[in-house]
Structure 1
Amino acid sequence: MNNTPAIIPAPHRNVLTGSFRAVGADEITALAEALGTWAPHAARRAAELAAILGDAPAAGSVTATLDPSLDAEGSRLVVTAESLTLAAADAAGAYWAVTVLAQTIDAAAGTVALGEIEDAPAYPHRGVMMDIARHFYGLDHLRRLVDIASELRFNSLHLHLTDDQGWRLEIPSRPLLTERGATTDCSDGPGGYLTLEDYVALQDHAAARHVEIVPEIDLPGHTHALLVAYPEASQDGAAREPYTGTKVGFSTVDLTSDASWDLVTDIVTTVAEHTRGSRIHLGGDECLTLDEKDYGVYVTRLGALGAAVGKHLTMWQEALHGDLPTGSWLQFWTHKVDTEMLAARVEELDLRVVSSPAPKAYLDMFHDAEQVVGQDWAGLIDLRTAYDWDPVAGLPGVRAERVVGVETALWTETVRNWGDVTYQLLPRIAAEASVAWGSPRDFDAFEKDVAVHVARWEAAGEVVHHPGDRRGV
């Protein structure tokens, strides 16, 4: 038996004894009952765990309590020969503790590791960004992505819903967005979109796993699909054909016209009304045809719209040229920006930063030089590269307390199907989860642990990358 359970992300304090004892369905069901009154999602996860266990002798006492002395989302899990004790700062901390407990249990053997684990995340925001605009992925696949992410203690799924190649969310007041703008993808496929009913169902599924859905409507650029549907929102008003290529930076809505702003206001208002979380992402990247001053004025107005619909705002780092609402987040993705300027604007406007550096966190990049699926414009990202980076050190001049989290991203220009998605994500998403959680650095131990998770993913039918693979050849 392996005396070191494969816990990913690795906890900050892990005092396991190397011993195990029997654990059965009744004990974990008792834990679910103890959680039920104050952490219902953790209780459901514990009940799911109990369902895969057999009978075992009762171990003794089982308790689950709130402990406000712990850090936010933090927990303490103690398993002895006679008891199982879980304490958590809040309901989210309880949920993450149950996911850790699941990783210490060998269901086939019916055993649980003995010892104590105390843990809390280093960052409040731990996100996965999924592009469903270049290739569309529907409700079932997105639910599965939430499952994978939440087991690694990510707490946000950022959906890139719109781009030049496709519009992927129903806006009832603007039906042409999906009638005309959702009909293709980067492979000349049929495209598709989420209905608002789908969007609500996805949020239900995510909330039950303590994951927030953050929708992104990319503005003012990356808007060709929008302009196919409503050309009157463009600068020239000309009709457009759907675009299935991969170039960026060529499209923009008109920055000042009433038609354009009426459309944008309808869209942002509808998305906000149907988004349960507190945050909305309004893009702002790669507006290569626009004057910096005009772009800044537009972004300032866009930020005000985000505030007007009652949401906290995130935008890509280029939006530093606008005057964003206090407390807004800038998402850092490329060093093609003056980080000193970024740091200065963050201080001036009282903003926060999400770290998503493409050479470390963009999982559409090749794993290695043998790969075919994916891209390499930001370099190769092998498992160690995805693991060995510091979100603060990569942002010179930005104070550590301004960095609210980490987000890994999967852009899908070349990612054509669900097998491609998991091939790009697995196992590197586990490395990114370790960075986002702030786990102690030990790549050798992580590499051994991730092998256990690879076996679990493959047993569940997922496609996982292995060194030397050439998927797509």
Structure 2
Amino acid sequence: MRQRRQHRTLARLLGSLVLVAAAGLTSIGASAPPSAAGAPRPLGQIVPAPASVTAGGSAYTIGSATVIRVAAGSPETQRIGDYLAAVLRPSTGYALPVTGGAGADGIRLLLGAGDKALGDEGYRLTSSNGAVTVTANQPAGLFHGVQTLRQLLPAAVEKKGKQPGPWKIAGGTITDWPRYAYRGAMLDVSRHFFGVDQVKRYIDQLALYKINTLHLHLSDDQGWRIAVDSWPRLAGYGGQTQVGGGKGGSYTKADYQAIIAYASAHYLRVVPEIDTPGHTNAALASYAELNCNGVAPPLYTGTNVGFSSLCVAKAVTYKFLDDVVREIAAMTPGPYLHIGGDEAHSTPHSDYVAFMDKVQPIVQKYGKTVMAWHEITGATPVQGAIAQYWGTLGNEAQVAAAAKAGTKLVMSPANHAYLDMKYDAKSPLGTSWAGYVDVDKSYAWDPATFVKGVPAGAVLGVEAPIWSETLTNSSQIEYMAFPRLPGIAEIGWSPVSTHDWASYKVRLAQQGPRFTALGINYYRSPVVPWV
């Protein structure tokens, strides 16, 4: 996960799929040129790649008379319509009223697709000269369809001032659904603290690429970031610093609920992580009784790992965790609660196993599914537990054995999916313990086959973590996440048959102007033919 060495230093803090428009299914080509000025973007030239595209017919043009039509009596559909209107109005300059009235024209957002293949997150987008219609079985699918609609329009649609247009959507049909149910991104707010508005900004960016899970790493040696009423010094004392000795910070319960609500409005669930039994210095410094010797260590602002551990033998440890899990579970509507479990180098293996045997039932008691880093497979995962794989080799026999026994996996191989890895030796931010990871390497893996011996059906999905030892602001987060994050999103969403670097890099290059329009600071990798 983080730097996999016992000693490390803090890095310097410095700041295609081209689808041919023709009758029938489109074909993929790596060298097709961008569409001509004023011509609509080919339907499949988006990220993530859609499952099925049938191109043909006349384009739809958004104009001054365009209306956004939503299902009458559906507050969620109304909200999605309002969201789309808020994206389109500033750049187009059009009123784009959102109405529940019936009609065959305009932009139509409809539930009731009646297609089991779409599931809860799939959608169908159909465009012709009279209307563009997005249909889905559930609101989440409708929201994902809206993200596709955004990408089919010129990148300038994302700007906050009026742009000249035209605003055309190519004719045809996209039928789309995700490969995996879990498509996540993790943000480490413990090494450096990021406030509510910074987290919301990241949620906006995740939603564009159909990510549906935000994993928040809320505790570590350097800081405890969530208020717990029954143990107030965790946030009040343990949250007051960060790597390098900055002021740190923590979320009040109202802050956390604001993040939950914003994520939910963007169809992302939040997975809170309280890392245990290691990575716990902030907690140990806050409460002396959590230490085996009863002495609280000083707060920690460095970047070494593996030196801290909760006291496995003390009953107060489990009272502490019961209280923490109870309060966080009560605030978190999603099904998962992550208990960490990685790099517990200071916890003897027998103690680690005993600890996990006691903590996992606490999570279950409060109605949550256990998630943990893949080291939990060296203990005894409870029925239904999910192990998050962060390794680099793919040959971990105990992970494969646990998967065969029923443990589901979320795949985050550090040498492909960790967004804090340096791009190359010149990268001013990040670490390199898992190697240098440029955009092509980040894209070049398959979750179903990465760990030898794991049944394909055991893979629940993918996640792209970003650790913040060297990151202090949103611009730096974006520089490390983009352009790698869209590729991880595609690996999680798109059919494996679409995974081809030669075609993907062309589609990714087309995202460059969109990043710029959205104000996203991104790394202009030389392996991508940027537009």
User: Could you say which TM-score interval applies, normalised by the shorter chain?
Assistant: over 0.9
* Worse-superposed segment, 331-340 or 199-208: 331-340
Code of the residue aligned with 2:150 in structure 1: it is A
Taking a change above 3 Å as real, the CA distance of residues 295 and 460 of structure 1, as seen in their structure-2 partners, is same
Checking the alignment, whether the CA contact within 8 Å between 2:60 and 2:130 is kept in structure 1 is no
Between the two proteins, the alignment pairs up a number of residues equal to 467
Code of the residue aligned with 1:231 in structure 2: it is A
Shift in Å at residue 300 of structure 1?
Answer: 1.6
Checking the alignment, whether the CA contact within 8 Å between 1:77 and 1:86 is kept in structure 2 is yes
The percentage of counterpart residues that share the same residue type is 32
Taking a change above 3 Å as real, the CA distance of residues 56 and 201 of structure 1, as seen in their structure-2 partners, is closer
Shift in Å at residue 408 of structure 1?
Answer: 0.4
Checking the alignment, whether the CA contact within 8 Å between 1:65 and 1:87 is kept in structure 2 is yes
Question: Of the candidates 485, 499, 510, which is equivalent to residue 441 of structure 1?
Answer: 499
Instruction: Determine the structure 1 residue equivalent to 2:118.
Output: 71
Instruction: Tell me the distance in 2 between the aligned counterparts of 1:84 and 1:441.
Output: 28
Taking a change above 3 Å as real, the CA distance of residues 228 and 28 of structure 1, as seen in their structure-2 partners, is farther
Instruction: Determine the structure 2 residue equivalent to 1:209.
Output: 266
Instruction: Determine the structure 2 residue equivalent to 1:45.
Output: 83
* Worse-superposed segment, 255-264 or 51-60: 51-60
Checking the alignment, whether the CA contact within 8 Å between 1:24 and 1:54 is kept in structure 2 is no
Q: Does 1:114 align with 2:171?
A: yes
Taking a change above 3 Å as real, the CA distance of residues 396 and 452 of structure 1, as seen in their structure-2 partners, is same
Shift in Å at residue 231 of structure 1?
Answer: 1.9
Instruction: Tell me the distance in 1 between the aligned counterparts of 2:276 and 2:67.
Output: 48
Q: Does 1:241 align with 2:289?
A: no
Code of the residue aligned with 2:134 in structure 1: it is L
Q: Does 1:417 align with 2:473?
A: yes
Shift in Å at residue 301 of structure 1?
Answer: 1.1
Checking the alignment, whether the CA contact within 8 Å between 1:159 and 1:213 is kept in structure 2 is yes
Shift in Å at residue 252 of structure 1?
Answer: 0.4
Q: Does 1:137 align with 2:209?
A: no
Instruction: Determine the structure 1 residue equivalent to 2:447.
Output: 391
Shift in Å at residue 416 of structure 1?
Answer: 2.1
Instruction: Determine the structure 2 residue equivalent to 1:20.
Output: 59
Instruction: Tell me the distance in 2 between the aligned counterparts of 1:28 and 1:172.
Output: 48
Instruction: Tell me the distance in 2 between the aligned counterparts of 1:436 and 1:324.
Output: 24
Query: Structure 2: any 5+ residue segments left out of the alignment?
Result: 1-36, 97-102, 158-164
Q: Greater RCO between the two (CA within 8 Å, min separation 6)?
A: 2
Question: Of the candidates 320, 324, 340, which is equivalent to residue 263 of structure 1?
Answer: 320
Q: Does 1:459 align with 2:517?
A: yes
What is the DSSP-based 3-state SS (H/G/I as helix, E as strand, rest coil) of the residue aligned with 2:171?
Answer: strand
Instruction: Tell me the distance in 1 between the aligned counterparts of 2:228 and 2:95.
Output: 53
Shift in Å at residue 443 of structure 1?
Answer: 2.4
Question: Which residues in structure 2 correspond to 1:25-424 (within 5 Å)?
Answer: 26-30=65-69, 32-33=70-71, 36=74, 39-52=77-90, 53-55=92-94, 60=105, 62=108, 64-69=110-115, 70-72=117-119, 73-106=121-154, 107=157, 108-335=165-392, 339-348=396-405, 350-424=406-480
Taking a change above 3 Å as real, the CA distance of residues 211 and 390 of structure 1, as seen in their structure-2 partners, is same
Shift in Å at residue 232 of structure 1?
Answer: 1.0
Code of the residue aligned with 2:131 in structure 1: it is S
Code of the residue aligned with 2:320 in structure 1: it is L
Instruction: Tell me the distance in 2 between the aligned counterparts of 1:43 and 1:390.
Output: 35
What is the DSSP-based 3-state SS (H/G/I as helix, E as strand, rest coil) of the residue aligned with 1:299?
Answer: helix
Instruction: Tell me the distance in 1 between the aligned counterparts of 2:229 and 2:217.
Output: 19
- For residues 165-220 of structure 1, give each alpha carbon's deviation from its aligned partner in whole angstroms, at most 9, with x where no partner exists: 00001111111112211111112110001111000001111100100011000011
Taking a change above 3 Å as real, the CA distance of residues 230 and 468 of structure 1, as seen in their structure-2 partners, is farther
Query: Structure 1: any 5+ residue segments left out of the alignment?
Result: none
Checking the alignment, whether the CA contact within 8 Å between 2:278 and 2:347 is kept in structure 1 is no
CA RMSD of aligned residues (A): 2.3
